Chain A
Amino acid sequence: AQTVTQSQPEMSVQEAETVTLSCTYDTSESDYYLFWYKQPPSRQMILVIRQEAYKQQNATENRFSVNFQKAAKSFSLKISDSQLGDAAMYFCAYSPTGNQFYFGTGTSLTVIP
């Protein structure tokens, strides 16, 4: 079975601080894709960052970066200099072939002013 686990239902961070959201996944594939999506309240889900498993270098998008540990099947998201607009549900997602996408249960991030 291919599953994605997000063990932190809720997280909070002070504005301007750094927070790390955890994600682990289960797969027997060697090549696959990993994503973090953000779902603001009552808004559509948007892509935050994406990682191809064959790339050893961790993906970075401005204040967002990942720590991809392939052997451990771990894919955490680090948000630096947190802003109020970062408050949202964050979903980790896995795709083995680019056809199906499997999502975790999400982490609700609160940013404290």
Chain B
Amino acid sequence: DTGVSQNPRHKITKRGQNVTFRCDPISEHNRLYWYRQTLGQGPEFLTYFQNEAQLEKSRLLSDRFSAERPKGSFSTLEIQRTEQGDSAMYLCASSFQPGLAASAGELFFGEGSRLTVL
């Protein structure tokens, strides 16, 4: 399967603990996005990478959240000192964005990592 892979699929943690999610995008995709989705809501943008560069971060992304894509391949999303409000599905998506011209390539989503903070 060459789709977007996310791990772990489910994570239950106690408030105050740190958690890390990993996303492996489709190999030839240069763009990687992180979204958060809560029940009854659509995905909310958190951040995105072009290759290894983090180009934009949402104001939703507090300083407890950090994302990396060290070699322009897989990405990690770490949440420090988790709070109950962090409970959500964390979605990763990737796409291929050719050149500098504005265009919107199709987003390919993973199945998500569900976080439950007790």
Contact = CB atoms under 8 A, between A and B. Distances in A.
The secondary-structure label for the interface of chain B is loop
Interface string A67-101: 00000000000000000000000010101011111
Contacts, number: 62
Contacts of A101: 33, 43, 45, 104, 107
B106 A47 contact: yes
A105 B39 CA distance: 10
A100 B34 CA distance: 11
Interface residues of A, number: 27
A69 B42 CA distance: 22
Interface in A1-41: 4, 6, 9, 31, 33, 35, 37
The winner among A93, A97, A101 for most chain B CB atoms within 10 A is A101
A4 B42 contact: yes
B91 A45 contact: yes
